[in-house]
Amino acid sequence: MNRHPYLRAYLAGIAFPTFALLLFMAAYTVFRFVYNVPVPIERVIIFPAAVVPNLWGLWNAVYAASLARRNVPLGLYGAILPLLLAPVGYGLARLLDFPVPSVVFSAFPFVLPAVLVMYYFVWKHFVGFLNRELGVA
């Protein structure tokens, strides 16, 4: 099963964020249109819908291509990804004039470590499992 290892790594990387995005969008649709919660994220949803899963897949393919042989822990490598996603997401929100509530800025120092830990565990266990199952790393 040595055919197309980087494609398999890409697919293992996009599996979790694609599934999570599906669940998030289903819950958002119910809250937005059934319970009339006034959070209009329709203008910026393209970032998590298109960029995040693809970046996860590319991030995993880069890991499989170069870092897996150097014994870099997958969890630590995956935990770096939010440090790239957060500034890009903030820049996109600013570019589209999406109002970022002030509570986001005040909660950022507390939420960022939690997100890093979450990414660590998702990459270590879920993406690592898929990599092993697909024979990537």
Look at residue 135 in the predicted model and tell me its pLDDT: 87
Q: What angle do CA 119, 122, 124 make, to 5 degrees?
A: 100
Quote the DSSP letter at residue 50.
I
Average pLDDT over residues 50-64: 93
Look at residue 43 in the predicted model and tell me its pLDDT: 67
Phi and psi, residue 80, nearest 5°: -75, -25
Instruction: Classify the phi-psi angles of 72: left when phi > 0, otherwise alpha if psi is within -120 to 50, otherwise beta.
Output: beta
Separation between Cα atoms, residue 48 and residue 113, nearest integer Å: 20
Separation between Cα atoms, residue 83 and residue 48, nearest integer Å: 15
Separation between Cα atoms, residue 68 and residue 124, nearest integer Å: 13
Q: Share the mean pLDDT of the chain.
A: 88
CA distances from 104 to 12, 20, 137 (A): 31, 21, 37
pLDDT tens across 108-132, in order? 999 999 999 999 999 999 999 999 9
For 85, the token pair is 């996603």
Quote the DSSP letter at residue 15.
H
Q: pTM for the full model? A: 0.85
Q: Where are the domains of the chain?
A: 5-133
Helix axes of 81-95 and 52-62: crossing angle, nearest 10 degrees: 150
